[in-house]
Amino acid sequence: MIIINVDVMLAKRKMSVTELAERVGFTMANVSMIKTGKVKALKMSTLEKLCEALDCQPGDILEYRKEVK
């Protein structure tokens, strides 16, 4: 399973969801969906904007975890 760690990066950068939304040009609703991992897909251009705004690498935002069965 892929985990989206935008909330972790926001905390590390001491940035609010509102500030991130303004920096990337997305609505608060879209940023909240990404932050909570409720998105089914993430465009590369979106990932690039998030990395630029959060000054991080894609691996800081995306994490793979094996599902325990």
Q: How confident is the prediction along the chain (69 residues), in pLDDT tens digits per residue?
A: 999 999 999 999 999 999 999 999 999 999 999 999 899 999 999 999 999 999 999 999 999 999 887
- The model carries a pTM of 0.89
Strand partners, 4: 62
pLDDT computed for residue 68 by the predictor: 84
Token pair for residue 45? 């251009």
